[in-house]
Amino acid sequence: MTNRPPKLSVIIPCFNIEAYVPETTASLRNNARDDFEFLFVEDRSTKDRTYEALLGLTADLKNSRVIRHERNGGLATARNTGTDAAEGTYLTYLDGDDWLAPGYLARLVDSVERLGVDFVRTDHVQVFGTERQIHRAPEGRRNKPLDPRSSILPVDDTTMVDYPYAWAGIYHRRLLERGLLRFHDGLRTAEDRPWIWELHRKADSYAVASLRGVFYRRGISSSLTQIGDVRQLDFFRSFDLVLAELAEDPEADLLRGKALRNYCVVIAHQLLARERFERGVYVRLRRLAAEALGRMTEEELNEALVGMGEERVHALRRIRGGMKGVAA
């Protein structure tokens, strides 16, 4: 690398993903440029030799560095470590068990430079074994600068704050300098919910590009989405942070309903996944759900739950009580 700062920093948090390191690093070799840097953050893996695999497989990857935590901190903290170490004009993220299409990063940089916005979001490809499924970012206005706030509402439809994946996009360094690229330390799930809400509330401009070069691996046993231990319950803290930060927004009354609907959707999803949870964790899930729903007024719940579907509304009714007038 020259003395000039890199054009792009790619931040890759890694935890117990030794089996996937070869595919991930191979995809980054197919994206390497002299002005790109790759920052692997090894979060003190406990079940395999992820760190050793990274050292071996990144030895010939241009401008790469492996940073190892002294202790496990979780995904949010690992992303922050990489973000703090990044020197690029632009930043992007990749989870350690996912991979990129050849040449994708160059297209991503071209897109954000051409559009001249604070950040660009993209589509992605979900991977279930050998199956591939394209997931589009929920914004129909493509390849044009937009006001990030214009993509938060409506309450009862899927919008960009329901598409929180940090790795599905690229972010200008000025967002970091404004404090908008940091995650809440210690969050082990739903860490990107407060992050995406703050980004859409406070950034000046963004765009959605029809790029789909990120391959997001689903259904693997080591993924936190497949694990039913206490880490899953961090989503309560995550959404409570969204609501607390939203309280200071000049349009708080308008946007709060959307945040409450997000919260209720995730609570219902977790309640309906009962078989995944350890018994004690599920008991705690129900208690925390009752407390969260109890902090919402009947009017707020009526607005949040309309059209959510009978199964989810019924699951929430059993926890909260009342809500007889809510239309499923």
pLDDT > 90 fraction of the chain, expressed in percent and rounded:
89
Of 281, 185, 288, which is closest to residue 230 (Cα–Cα)? 281
Q: Give the residue carrying structure tokens 């931040």.
A: 11
Integer Cα distance of 44 and 72 in angstroms: 5
Q: What average pLDDT score do residues 74-82 get?
A: 97
Higher pLDDT, 316 or 219: 316
Determine how β-strand 131-135 pairs with β-strand 90-93: unpaired
Per-residue model confidence as pLDDT tens digits over 88-101:
999 999 999 999 99
> Do residues 116 and 206 make contact, with C-beta atoms less than 8 angstroms apart?
no
**CA 140 to centroid of chain Cα atoms:** 20
Cα 124 from Cα 167, distance rounded (Å): 9
Question: In terms of C-beta density within 10 A (0-12 exposed, 13-18 middle, 19 or more buried), how is residue 77 classed?
Answer: buried
Are 93 and 79 in contact by the 8 Å Cβ rule? The answer is: yes
Spatial contact of 193 and 238, defined as CB atoms under 8 Å apart: yes
Residue carrying the six token digits 């496990």: 72
Return the amino acid letter for 199. Answer: L
**Which of helix, strand or coil describes residue 36?**
strand
Of the candidates 82, 74, 78, 16, the residue with the CA atom closest to the CA atom of residue 45: 16
Backbone region of residue 203 per phi and psi (left: phi > 0; alpha: psi in -120 to 50; beta: other values)? beta
Tens of pLDDT, residue by residue over 247-302, are: 999 999 999 999 999 999 999 999 999 999 999 999 999 999 999 999 999 999 98
CA 116 – CA 93 distance, rounded (Å): 20
Question: Which amino acid makes up residue 10?
Answer: V
**Tens of pLDDT, residues 5-55:** 999 999 999 999 999 999 999 999 999 999 999 999 999 999 999 999 999
DSSP run (H or E) holding 236: helix 234-246
The amino acid occupying position 245 is E
- CA-to-CA dists, residue 223 to 62, 136, 228, 238, angstroms: 28, 22, 10, 19
CA 291 to chain CA mean position, Å:
25
pTM higher than the cut 0.85: yes
What pLDDT is recorded for position 3?
Answer: 77
pLDDT in tens, 181-233: 999 999 989 999 999 999 999 999 999 999 999 999 997 655 555 456 888 99
128-170: per-residue pLDDT in tens?
A: 999 999 999 999 999 999 999 999 999 999 999 999 999 999 9
Q: Which residues have C-beta within 8 Å of that of residue 26, sequence separation ≥ 6? A: 99
Residue of 148, 83, 80 whose CA lies nearest to 118: 148
